[in-house]
Structure 1
Amino acid sequence: MAQAYLDIRNLKKHYGEGEALLQVLRGIDVQLERGEICVLLGPSGSGKSTFLNMVGGLEPADSGSIVVNGTNIATLPDKKLVEYRRKELGFVFQFYNLVPDLTVQENIEVCAYLSKNPLPMKPLLESLGLYEHRHKFPHQISGGQQQRCAIGRALVKNPGLLLCDEPTGALDYKTSKEILQLMEEVNQQYGCTIVIVTHNDAIRHMAHRVLRLRDGVMAEDSVNEHVLPAMQLEW
């Protein structure tokens, strides 16, 4: 049987020592196929962001394996981790972290230079709805457009894996649905595997797979038999 695109086994992580010891992840097992949209739910403090940061190679594991496209990133040295983040990974945060003195197009191009096989700029800007705004600076566009720019910056590298940490957390209802629809289109157009961390339970209905963390363990790992288009979501 072929290995899943993302294959995580017995992943553990703690912070602190002695009486201050906090077990954040207590032996997580997750397998995602290439091209799946996965929504990761759970209350604050359940380990969602820690999980995402470990898959993103930003935090080390105490033990366990994180195999992405055949490579166990949990055992990679720092130099190889940088290569992994450059070649395989796109990261979208709740806060856009755009460079204020660069235009929309320049913010995206910064990451294009990191890839040997970047996506063409004009079609990407058009698919993001940003082509007409490409010469504007971040302060000249809306929050939703800034998040689209942040998504474009992550996508331009042509990553196999797109990690999204509360990507709609700072957005209003209408703009949130537009961003989720964009992610849906990105998944269909570019075939990247997407993991969305969110507090919003309604977003689960657009995902192929739903994960729920609670107290450091995977309380739910289910396949969604009836995937809803993002624009039909309500909350």
Structure 2
Amino acid sequence: MGKNPATATNTANLDSHATEAGPAAASTPRAASTSHAADAASSPAPYLQVRDLCKHYGEGEARATVLHDVTTTVSKGEICVLLGPSGSGKSTFLNLVGGLEAADSGSINVGGTELTSLTSKQLGEYRRDKLGFVFQFYNLVPDLTIRENIEVTAHLSANPLPIDDLLHSLGLYEHRAKFPRQVSGGQQQRCAIGRALVKNPGLLLCDEPTGALDYQTSKEILELMENVNRDYGCTVVIVTHNDAIRHMAHRVLRLRDGKLAEGTANVERMAARDLTW
């Protein structure tokens, strides 16, 4: 197992590359309504704004509504946890925000960019320059080292982060010359996070990032997400089945049958290391 990111050395080196800090650090959870949080004078500016979002699959009698009139806002620098059972529309929501699929109606605005008006080429540039993706399965290139898997993305990025600093932050520096098969599942997921983060994205989209990991490794990955949010100031959206993860979030959304059933803000949060399930 790699070094826990909370104790990673070289944190000072990362500060010069971090963007504007996100909301306050975690403690113990206490929820408030989204509208109450929005009324606060110190509320961060919106970064992700979704309005009346709809998505259907199929035609005629086979037509199925996956998302129906979803409207929500995630502020800059927040960790947002999106919950819901299988088939509720979570992954579809992430794909739409990530520009991997097109909405049937509604609007998606990310950092001032309206996705629904972009051409295919512009969507590619949006995914390349503004987004980082982390999935349940690591999708690393098996014949490249840990460092090389991250370098591949860095070479395609306009403003990449220094790779050595990032490897230290991820607890992977000592494993940088190893191949994916030579490290643990948790270390492979850290590499996948590094590959997404090296682009210095404004938005990090994570689809079940702990789904293939054991309990302790899952907590370490969630703590890494917490550190990424704090140190780099990027907005993080985590899709998960695990209800306990909600307590580390600034904002909690829940989908049910394609509709937004819950939208709350945690005024006080729980640190990832203190989560239990």
TM-score range with shorter-chain normalisation? over 0.9
2:228 matched residue in structure 1: 186
- Secondary structure of the equivalent of 1:95? coil
1:39 matched residue in structure 2: 81
Q: TM-score, normalised by structure 2?
A: 0.84
Superposed CA offset, 1:3-22 (max 9, x none):
62111100000001111110
Find the partner of 1:16 among 41, 54, 58.
58
Task: Give the letter for the 1:41 counterpart.
Answer: L
Find the partner of 1:113 among 136, 152, 155.
155
1:135 matched residue in structure 2: 177
**Structure 1 residues not aligned, in runs of 5+:** none
User: Following TM superposition, by how much is the alpha carbon of 1:42 offset from its aligned partner in structure 2, in angstroms?
Assistant: 0.1
Find the partner of 1:197 among 211, 230, 239.
239
Q: In structure 2, what is the Cα distance between the partners aligned to 1:107 and 1:53? A: 23
Aligned pair 1:62/2:104, yes or no?
Answer: yes
Superposed CA offset, 1:121-164 (max 9, x none):
11100010000000000000000000000000000000000000
Q: In structure 1, what is the Cα distance between the partners aligned to 2:251 and 2:75? A: 10
Q: Give the ranges of 4+ consecutive aligned residues of structure 1 lying more than 4 Å apart after TM superposition.
A: none
Structure 2 contact 252–264 (Cα < 8 Å) conserved = yes
Find the partner of 1:155 among 194, 197, 213.
197
Task: Give the letter for the 2:132 counterpart.
Answer: G
Q: In structure 2, what is the Cα distance between the partners aligned to 1:173 and 1:35? A: 26
Q: In structure 2, what is the Cα distance between the partners aligned to 1:88 and 1:202? A: 29
Q: In structure 1, what is the Cα distance between the partners aligned to 2:268 and 2:112? A: 29
Aligned pair 1:213/2:255, yes or no?
Answer: yes
1:175 matched residue in structure 2: 217
Q: In structure 2, what is the Cα distance between the partners aligned to 1:4 and 1:27? A: 19
User: Following TM superposition, by how much is the alpha carbon of 1:114 offset from its aligned partner in structure 2, in angstroms?
Assistant: 1.6
Q: TM-score, normalised by structure 1?
A: 0.98
Q: In structure 2, what is the Cα distance between the partners aligned to 1:156 and 1:83? A: 16
Structure 2 contact 45–76 (Cα < 8 Å) conserved = no
With CA pairs under 8 Å and 6+ residues apart, which has the higher RCO, 1 or 2? Answer: 2
1:80 matched residue in structure 2: 122
Q: In structure 1, what is the Cα distance between the partners aligned to 2:187 and 2:54? A: 37
**Structure 2 residues not aligned, in runs of 5+:** 1-37, 39-43
